[in-house]
Structure 1
Amino acid sequence: MGELQGKRVLLVEDELFIAMHAEEILRDLGAEVIGPANSLREAWALTESESFDYAMLDRNLNGESSDELAQELRRRGVAVIMATGYGHIASDRDLVVVSKPYDENMIAAAFRSVMKGQCLDSE
């Protein structure tokens, strides 16, 4: 597809097989993947040592919420896609949410949405 050709994407996911699947999808879309980070600590470290255009964050990392990380990245101007297996996330309109299990089409649509500045969860 190539929607993410030349873009760097921070991937934060604590489940190994989901992380591997997400990394494969992102690479198929043309992205250079930063990570995957499997903990908030590792994710925060990558935000200080790496540059990236977008972030795809698992909302629940080993029982810890990635909401604060998402807020900080967005404050820095990084578009964030939040992945969750827990259904709808009540959030502001600027957050794009992808439900697990996801596939390449869902991820591509989410990135197209953030590239256009739209939100998939908006009414």
Structure 2
Amino acid sequence: MATDNSQLEGFRILVAEDEGLIALELETVLQGFGCEVVGPVSRVADVLREAERGRLDGALLDVNLRGEQIFAILPQLIALELKIVITSGYDDATLFPPEFRNLPRLAKPFDERALRAMCEATFLPRQVSGENLHLPPG
């Protein structure tokens, strides 16, 4: 997959996924976007360790990693200001704890366009359009 001047070029994205084929697919697609993939990791403790290590632009986190749910460490990840996309085989937000229902999420299986759109919407810094700024000249 060739990069096509992706806005995500050079972004360091943590992948937490315990299903080998899905992890490999995510890694390949993200690399195609120009991202540097951290992981994939398959344990909740590894997610926290990588997040605390820092230098991440975002994370794609499967809800269930080897029988442990990611929800236990989400408050710590949010406190670290890590930008998160939850990936899940379940698209029903009511299955998630109420405090995490508004986090960006993608239901599996997802396609490359949906993944790119979600990553760009979540991981890119909020752009302020220069034409909307009313700054004095000089």
Aligned to 2:44: 40
The question of 1:60 aligning with 2:64 is answered yes
Aligned to 2:29: 25
The question of 1:112 aligning with 2:124 is answered no
Gaps of 5+ in 2: 95-99, 127-138
Among 111, 114, 136, the alignment partner of 1:103 is 111
Q: TM-score, normalised by structure 2?
A: 0.75
Aligned length: 116
Identical aligned residues as a percent: 29
The question of 1:79 aligning with 2:83 is answered yes
Q: Secondary structure at the match of 2:93?
A: coil
RMSD: 1.7
* 8 Å Cα contact 1:9-1:31 kept in structure 2: yes
Instruction: Give the strand-richer structure, 1 or 2.
Output: 1
Gaps of 5+ in 1: 118-123
Alpha-carbon deviation of 1:92?
A: 4.1
What amino acid is the match of 1:47?
Answer: A
Aligned equivalents of 2:125, 2:93: Cα separation in 1: 21
Question: 1:10-32, CA deviations, whole angstroms, 9 ceiling, x for partnerless residues?
Answer: 11000010000000111111110
The question of 1:12 aligning with 2:20 is answered no
What amino acid is the match of 2:107?
Answer: S
* 8 Å Cα contact 1:10-1:55 kept in structure 2: yes
Which protein is bigger by CA-based radius of gyration? 2
